[in-house]
Structure 1
Amino acid sequence: MVTEFILSLFGLFGVGWIIAGSTATGIILLIGSVFIYWPLMIGGVILTRGIGLLCLGPIAIGAIILNTLLLMMALRRKTVRFAAPPPSPARNYPPF
């Protein structure tokens, strides 16, 4: 999760998902960050001469937070699925 957060700060989403085992989601996010996220951010800044950062900055921060939270929820679901069940309560059978 730390890897995903740090690389998301640089605009590379999906690496943490790949490390966590969700390769399909990770590859889609990685391709999307390179071919959609970066051109949108760079184009928005160039076309608006920097004023677009007022809107694009909070969107980028929201994307980083949302991506990290979704990965954390997916990892929690995986750990719950593979966690050992609690021991069954001991039964007191009457002596014979």
Structure 2
Amino acid sequence: MNSLLLVEDDPAIGQETVDFLTKHGFDVGLARNFAEGQAAARQSYDLAILDLNLPDGNGFDLYLAEEMIKDADTRRSEGSASSSSRSFVGFG
């Protein structure tokens, strides 16, 4: 099963999206703000759908923060940076 992180602060949109994606075979984690999204992104997932307009930050900054952390981890473990195997989608 494909895993997906949804970061969405609107409760109705978040729940409808989770229900839809779950119905279509995704294992979905839901974060309601930037801080929850940052904590949840530490888990393994295949795709992240990020709301760009969050109350405590924006999805693009979350994407950048996670990419910098991943790149630093990669450099420490492999001695060089490599491309991400995760996918991110942002919406406003």
- TM tier relative to shorter chain: 0.3 to 0.5
Task: Tell me the TM-score normalized by structure 2.
Answer: 0.35
